[in-house]
Amino acid sequence: MAFRDGAEALERLKTDETLELVVTALELPGLGGLELCWQARTLTSQRRQLYVIAMSSSHDHRRLSEALDSGADDFISKPPNPYELSARLRAAERWLAAQRELMLLATRDGLTGILNRRAFIDQASTALDNAQYEHTPASVIMIDIDHFKRINDRFGHEAGDRVIQQLGSLIGGDGALAGRLGGEEFAILTVGLREAEATAEANAIRCAFAATEFRCDGSPQFVTASFGVAEASDGDCLSELLRRADHALYAAKASGRNRVIAATRIRLADDHGDAAALASIDSDRHAA
C-alpha cells in the first residue's frame, strides 16, 4: 500500500501491527524520511518487528550513514532497479521470517504452544493496565493439575506431557491470553469478565478437562485440576492479582481438589494464608 507522505505512513504503522516492511524515500514532504525511519524503529518490540528500506537519489555516503543510524535496515538508490529492489525485498522477507521464528521460540512454551511464563507476564501486565485505564473488568484464573507427580511416577513423563498438552489446548484457544507458568501450573487473564463470570469459565474448563480420557498402559485414566479465580480491583498490578488467585487455588487444593474457588470466598489470616481456615471453606464440589 502507498501513502502520500511520511505522516500518513507513520499513522498507519501505529494502528496496523500487521505491517512489517517499510520502503521510504528520504526526501519526503512534511515528516521526512529520516524521521519516519526513526519513528518506525520506536514501534518495534518483542512482539513486533519492522524492516525499513530507505531510498535516496543522493549518492552522499553521509546520507547512507544517517539513514542507517536513524533506524533503516537497508538502503537503495532512487529510482530503484527493479531486479535489485526485488532481491532486497526477498532478503527482507527472509529476515522477517527468521525474526518471527525467534519471537515464537522466545515467547511460546515448547510443549503446549501457549505463552511461556515470561511472555504471559509481559502481555498480561499490558492487557491489565489497558483494562484498568479503560475501566474494564478483568480477572485471572490460575490452574494446577491435581496429583501430577503421581502421573509422572506411575505412567512416565510422556503421559505427563500429554496431560499438560491437553490442558494447554483447552485454555489456549480463540486467542485467549493464557500461559504456562511452569510445570503443571497455568494462568489465564480474562479481560471483560467479572469474578463470577470468570469462575463459570474456569468451571467449564475444569469439567472438560476432568472428562478427558487418557490412555496410559492400555487403560483409561482421568485427571483433574484445581482452579483459583480473582478479579482485579482498582489499581491492581498483575502480581497482586496473581497472588490473590494463587491463594484461591491453594484453597481449592486444601478443600479437596477438582474444584474452582474465587478469591472473594477466602478469609486469609495473613498474606501466606491460614491452612485451617482455607480447609474449612464451604466449597461445592461439582461432578466432573
The reply to whether 162 and 249 lie within a common domain is yes
Cα–Cα distance measured from residue 287 to residue 210, given in angstroms and rounded to the nearest whole number: 9
Question: Percent helix, strand and coil across the chain, each rounded to 5?
Answer: 45, 20, 35
In tens, the pLDDT along 171-186 reads 997 778 999 999 999 9
The reply to whether 182 and 269 lie within a common domain is yes
In tens, the pLDDT along 239-279 reads 999 999 999 999 999 999 999 999 988 754 344 455 445 44
**How confident is the model at residue 269, as a pLDDT?**
34
Domain boundary among the residues 79, 105, 131 is at: 105
The reply to whether 189 and 168 lie within a common domain is yes
The reply to whether 59 and 98 lie within a common domain is yes
Q: Is 184 a catalytic residue?
A: yes
In tens, the pLDDT along 104-163 reads 888 999 999 999 999 999 999 999 999 999 999 999 999 999 999 999 999 999 999 999
Domain boundary among the residues 70, 105, 140 is at: 105
Q: Tally the domains of the chain.
A: 2
Full residue range of the structural domain in which residue 38 is found? 6-105
**How confident is the model at residue 239, as a pLDDT?**
95
The reply to whether 225 and 194 lie within a common domain is yes
pLDDT score of 46 more than 80 = no
Residue 148 sits in a domain whose CATH number is: 3.30.70.270
The reply to whether 239 and 166 lie within a common domain is yes
Catalytic residue among 27, 35, 101, 184: 184
The reply to whether 147 and 230 lie within a common domain is yes
Cα–Cα distance measured from residue 20 to residue 252, given in angstroms and rounded to the nearest whole number: 45
In tens, the pLDDT along 205-231 reads 999 999 999 988 778 999 999 999 999
Contacts of 119 (CB under 8 A, 6+ apart): 46, 106, 107, 108, 179
1 within domain boundaries: no
The reply to whether 140 and 248 lie within a common domain is yes
The radius of gyration of the chain from alpha carbons, rounded to an integer in Å, stands at: 25
- C-beta neighbour count of 177 within 10 angstroms: 21
